[in-house]
Amino acid sequence: MTTSAPETTGPQVQLRLGEDWFTVCGLDRLLPGRGVAALLPDGRQAALFRDRGGRLYAVDNRDPFGGAAVLSRGLLGTHEGRVFVASPLLKQRYDLRSGHCLDDETAHVATYEVRVATPSCPGSENGAG
């Protein structure tokens, strides 16, 4: 089953939540290098990112150190080939593929599987998560 946000005609970004896919936003809403926060059906927030190569990532939006939902406002970067988001609060860096903190091995954020679905082909995938 796929749960949907408001209907549009362009490609849609979806997150896997358990056995289902949840439509978050249109792909055109994700600008390379910028984050977007999305409210999930259970009340949590996800931070979605599109890197300059077009790859998609999604992690929990809550910063484990500060407790605020701010990771979507963090800066994207790379370190030793790993794409990360740096928290705007205390600047800890989180690997967008694994969710592990690059600065404190005891900390991590949840990650989500991401795909792009088009209206003509709802199961098409593009991205990582």
The pLDDT of residue 96: 98
The pLDDT of residue 19: 96
pLDDT (tens place) for every residue of the chain, 129 residues total? 555 555 567 999 999 999 999 999 999 999 999 999 999 999 999 999 999 999 999 999 999 999 999 999 999 999 999 999 999 999 999 999 999 999 999 999 999 999 999 876 555 554 545
The pLDDT of residue 9: 77
Which residues on neighbouring strands pair with residue 99, listed in sequence order?
Answer: none
The pLDDT of residue 102: 97
Measured distance CA(32)–CA(42) in Å, rounded: 27
Considering the domain 2-117, what is its CATH architecture?
3-layer Sandwich (2.102)
45-50: strand order across its sheet: 35-39, 45-50, 56-60
This prediction has a pTM of 0.84
The pLDDT of residue 73: 98
Query: What is the Cα Rg of the chain in Å?
Result: 14
